[in-house]
Chains A and B, each alone.
Chain A
Amino acid sequence: MSDATVHVQQGAAAYDLHHDGHDHDGHGHHHQSFISKYVFSMDHKTIGKQFLITGIIWAIIGGLFSVLFRLQLGFPNQTFPILETFFGHHAKGGQIQPEFYYALVTMHGTVLVFFVLTAGLSGTFANLLIPLQIGARDMASPFLNMLSYWFFVLASIIMLSSLFIETGPASGGWTMYPPLSALGQASQGSKAGADMWLISMAMFIVSSLLGGLNYISTILNMRTKGMSMTRLPLPVWAMFFTAVLGVLSFPVLLSGAILLLFDRNLGTSFYLSDIVVAGEVLPNEGGSAILYQHLFWFLGHPEVYIILLPAMGMVSEILSVNSRKPIFGYMAMLGSLFAIAILAFLVWAHHMFVTGLNPFLGSVFVLLTLLIAVPSAIKVFNWLTTLWRGNIRFTPAMLFAIGFVSLFISGGLTGIFLGNSTIDIHLHDTMFVVAHFHIVMGVASFFGMFAGVYHWFPKMFGRYLNNTLGYIHFWVTIIGAYLIFWPMHYEGLAGVPRRYLDKSIWVSFNKFASLGEMITIVSIIVFAVQLMFVFNFFYSIFKGRKVTTPNPWGANTLEWTTAINPGHGNWTGEIPEVHRWPYDYAKDGRDFIPQTEPVGENESKH
């Protein structure tokens, strides 16, 4: 009982609208046990932090996998006895075995794409920012929001356990193309590991849908007074389009995964036809292996934008705040987000130019794919113009945002090579592709995520991250990212296929040994610096410099009108009313004008 009293006092700042009608003790106070506050929390801010921390754990695992397979790629002839200590027969004699190598590659991709850059990125910031920036006390359904996180945990547990089963985790690549992923005889990883991968993904999709529906309904219905759609901060718009993409495309992946489960376990032939594997003639006839690729990439391509759009939105906000200037071309930014979201659905087959696709269909997809470069270019030019004649503060968040723009340009331009079917014939599935998507989708989105973490950390925990560590983190990461992925394009232009763990037997591909070593060493350094960031993150939660002002960056958006450590419900009194768009920086000689300030009589129009 005394325990409960303590919590009542601790939760004194909390204001819980969902218990307004009952359980009301006259002060807006509310019983919160440890479990309901930190574990099964329905507070969007806590759920956001849960997504972030789970994402960080996954990022360490996924990143470690890449370090392991980079060891094989950089030093194919060397043995690392320590690997055998940890991984036993998977690394017999200290050498990563092929099956294990492919399992690592598969898990690296799956974990980073789905668990880190989808759940960890949009799960974190959609949860944190949507209610705070639109002026809502919480999500439309805090309960579904909580379920969304716990389905993600469930998916995580299943995926994690698949690492420890005897035949190993799925190893057919993160795309899991059948028949390879459908036939246990074809690969160790296609035994129990593949079932677990598919079930885990199904749980993940449920999580993503619960989250996405919530984000959409919250943004559409729960904006505070005066917050019209065109006064929404750009991160919210980005999260909105992200959620729409997810809601419309993830179900298609679910259907693809379920059909694959049927083929694997119930003897159906959706994807299987005319197969003789390991000397055994299979009875399946009439299926199409290519069908899966259509279903997969119908999600898979929007997925790229599900990862990228939140980063774009946050970067737009951070660039504007730290340039002390409005984002240039707000409406054009919106329009380009919208165009990207639409086009994201119409380009999936550019992953399939060499599957024997009808050439006419291919040409349509070339046109639609390269069309995406137009809204992307608009965004880049608008970001550049936002910086132009600003008064720029280089916080770590700002540096990561600038790094994002640089990487987005570099990776976006190589997309123009690959989206063109003529060039894709040559570069398809080479290291060029690996370099391209790591820069534009992987590293760039990570930069957006880091920018977000550095920028909103004060809002999340009431403390700052250590700046010096932040600067080291940024500089090592951007230099490292370019050192790792820039030269990789050359490997691709030499025709080196991706997913080759040893190129020494190839006359055409065996000339990049020293490059491979360099890349491996740099990736280890970059990985170590990410661990330093993780340390900075957890250390600063408890010991970081305290935030002393509610609005440390001098920003206009609503989240900075809350208390330094807002309780459940976000604002202790009334929800503030909004009178203007969020980007009135440097207007009429004033550094910034918060959204809550009414428009003055003599204020200039724009």
Chain B
Amino acid sequence: MQTFFIVAILVLGFLITFQIAKASEYVAVIRGEERSRKQSNKINGFLLLVFLILGMIGVYYCNEKLGGKILQFGSSASNHGVLIDDMIKITLIITGIVFVITQFLLFWYCYRYQESDTRKAYFFPHNNKLEIIWTAIPAIALTVLVGFGIMYWFRITGDAPSGAMQVEVTGSQFKWEFRYPGSDNILGKKYYRNINEATNPLGQVWEDSTNKDDIYVSGEPMHLVVNKPVKLIIGAKDVIHDVGLPHFRLKMDAVPGTPTTMWFIPTKTSKQMKEETQNPEFVYEISCDQMCGQGHWSMRGEIIVETQEEFDQWMAGKKPRFLVSFPELDPSAVKDSAAAAKPLALNSGK
């Protein structure tokens, strides 16, 4: 019923508008087209000026209203995020100035030079000096932007520091899984044909001994240590996903078949962020930023940034995936040492 009323009102409003428009055309013909054309010219010239003023007020109002909801400058929780915020700031200042000047000129000229019988248009087909000036100025401004941009870009995409902690992130419809390299700090090899959601969710190659201490984490947040560089090794099982970390200002695609990497230093613990944002609900979220199917909008992961002690404590409760897959080989659970020496069992995942 409500829909019906809305449609009825729309149709009615449209009919009225149309009748007025039609009538105004007839009136124009009767009163002399030239005269009514000039009148509507004045109205539109005035409206363009009004649009400029209201538009600028609107820009300000919009910022007042929504400015507090965006990620604030200085709230970035990673070292790279600071650079990115700086770059946004520089760009915002330059483009802001250009925006105000050009929009002002556009609408002001429209108002100022609207048709008038007392004035004639000025024949002004070209002027090389002006062209050179306004080729050079944007070129200089852009050199600044490109310079900073590329400098920051290389810093952000450069090699991770050698002591960086590694975490592997794997996306699949519509979840995130993580893997830590364990005590050897080496992530073991994997091969996608080994993947079995029940016994070997990442497709680890068990023959590779560096795999034996790798910790697999799923269904719970990724844990990171504050102020410790971390290198994410990112992959996907099925379609392209994207690891989006808005609070760290970072993003990297997860492409099946082509691993990607991204490193950063988390600079604020989750607790700190809760205080800073005055939001007790605050969590670092991983959003999928690449269209990946019908669950794309809900492909959510979490990160906890904590101190080294807290991290170690959490890690101590984790068992390598190898031992989860082969509980009979777990020395703490299986007393029979003969069973542990049965390497043939390792191939069962293949």
From A98, A429, A497, A588, contact of B295 by CB (8 A): A98
**How far does the Cβ of B8 sit from chain A's closest Cβ, in whole Å?**
13
User: Per-residue CB proximity of B74-85 to A under 8 Å, as 1/0?
Assistant: 000000110110
Q: How far is the CA of A110 from the CA of B87 in the complex (A)?
A: 33
Let me know if B106 and A406 touch, CB within 8 A: yes
- Which stretch, A5-13, A55-63, A482-490, touches the partner chain B? A482-490
A179 at the interface (CB under 8 A from B): yes
The answer to whether B289 touches A409, judged by C-beta atoms less than 8 angstroms apart, is: no
A200-208, A227-235, A287-295 - interface stretch: A287-295
Q: Does B116 contact A (CB under 8 A)?
A: yes
Contact at B102–A426, with CB atoms within 8 Å? no
Partner of B293, one of A186, A285, A370, A528: A186
Contact, CB under 8 Å: A420 / B255: no
A417 touches B296 (CB 8 A): no
Q: Is the CB of B134 closer than 8 A to any CB of chain A?
A: yes
B-side interface mostly: helix
Interface residues on B, range: 35 or more
- Per-position binary interface string of chain B over residues 113-152, scored 1 when its CB falls under 8 Å from any chain A CB and 0 otherwise: 1111001111111110011001101110010011011101
Q: How far is the CA of A216 from the CA of B120 in the complex (A)?
A: 38
The CA-CA distance from A428 to B243 in the complex, in Å, is 11
A471 within 8 Å of B by Cβ? Answer: yes
Known: A179-B238, A355-B260. A392 touches B152 (CB 8 A): no
Q: Assess the A287–B255 pair: CB atoms within 8 A.
A: no
Cα(A515)–Cα(B158), bound, Å:
38
A406-B250 Cα distance, complex, nearest whole Å = 32
Q: Report B92-114 residues with CB < 8 Å from chain A CB.
A: 94-95, 98-99, 102-103, 105-107, 109-110, 113-114
Q: CA A16 – CA B228 in complex, angstroms?
A: 78
Q: Which residues of B contact A399 (CB under 8 A)?
A: 44, 48
B313-327 contacts to A, CB under 8 A, are none
Contact A289 B297, CB 8 Å, known A420-B149, A490-B70: no
B135 touches A384 (CB 8 A): no
Which residues does chain A contribute within 8 Å of B10, judged by CB atoms? 528
The answer to whether residues A487 and B121 also contact, given A409-B103, A471-B40 and a CB cut-off of 8 A, is: no
Judging by beta carbons under 8 Å apart, are A98 and B134 in contact?
Answer: no
Stretch at the interface among A26-34, A155-163, A254-262, A325-333: A325-333
Contacts of B234 in A (CB 8 A): 356
Give the residues in chain A near B120, CB-CB below 8 Å. 391, 586, 589
Residue of A whose beta carbon sits closest to that of B111: A392
From the candidates A98, A285, A331, A486, name the one contacting B294 in the complex (CB within 8 A).
A98
In the complex, what residues of B have CB within 8 A of residue A274's CB? 192, 237, 256-257
Q: Which residues of A contact B35 (CB under 8 A)?
A: none
Q: Is A164 an interface residue (CB 8 A)?
A: no
Check A468–B71 contact: CB distance below 8 A. Answer: no
Q: Are B84 and A585 in contact (CB under 8 A)?
A: no
Q: Is A323 an interface residue (CB 8 A)?
A: yes
Q: Which residues of B contact A355 (CB under 8 A)?
A: 253, 255, 260
Cross-chain contact of A422 among B41, B149, B172, B252 (Cβ < 8 A): B149
Minimal Cβ-Cβ distance residue in B for A384: B105
Q: Do residues B289 and A392 form an inter-chain contact, with CB atoms below 8 A?
A: no
What A residues does B51 contact at CB under 8 A? 478-479
Residues of chain A contacted by B297 (CB below 8 angstroms): 98, 499-503
Contact, CB under 8 Å: A506 / B240: no
A326, B244: Cβ atoms closer than 8 Å: no
Chain B residues in 8 Å Cβ range of A416: 91, 94-95, 142, 145
Report chain B residues within 8 Å CB of A381: 130, 134
Contact A413 B99 (CB under 8 A): yes
**Could you tell me if B142 and A373 are in contact, using CB atoms closer than 8 angstroms?**
yes
* Residues on A with beta carbons closer than 8 Å to the beta carbon of B279: 507
Q: Which residues of B contact A414 (CB under 8 A)?
A: 95
Minimal beta-carbon separation of A135 from chain B (angstroms): 22
B283: interface (CB < 8 Å): yes
Report yes or no: B238 in contact with A423, Cβ–Cβ below 8 A. Answer: no
**Contacting residues, chain B, for A532 (C-beta < 8 A):** 14, 17-18
A and B contact pairs by CB, cutoff 8 A, 28 listed: A102-B291, A102-B293, A102-B294, A186-B293, A276-B238, A277-B239, A366-B150, A367-B150, A370-B145, A384-B106, A390-B122, A394-B44, A402-B107, A410-B99, A420-B145, A421-B150, A426-B246, A466-B25, A467-B40, A490-B69, A493-B88, A494-B69, A494-B70, A497-B289, A506-B300, A507-B279, A508-B285, A532-B18
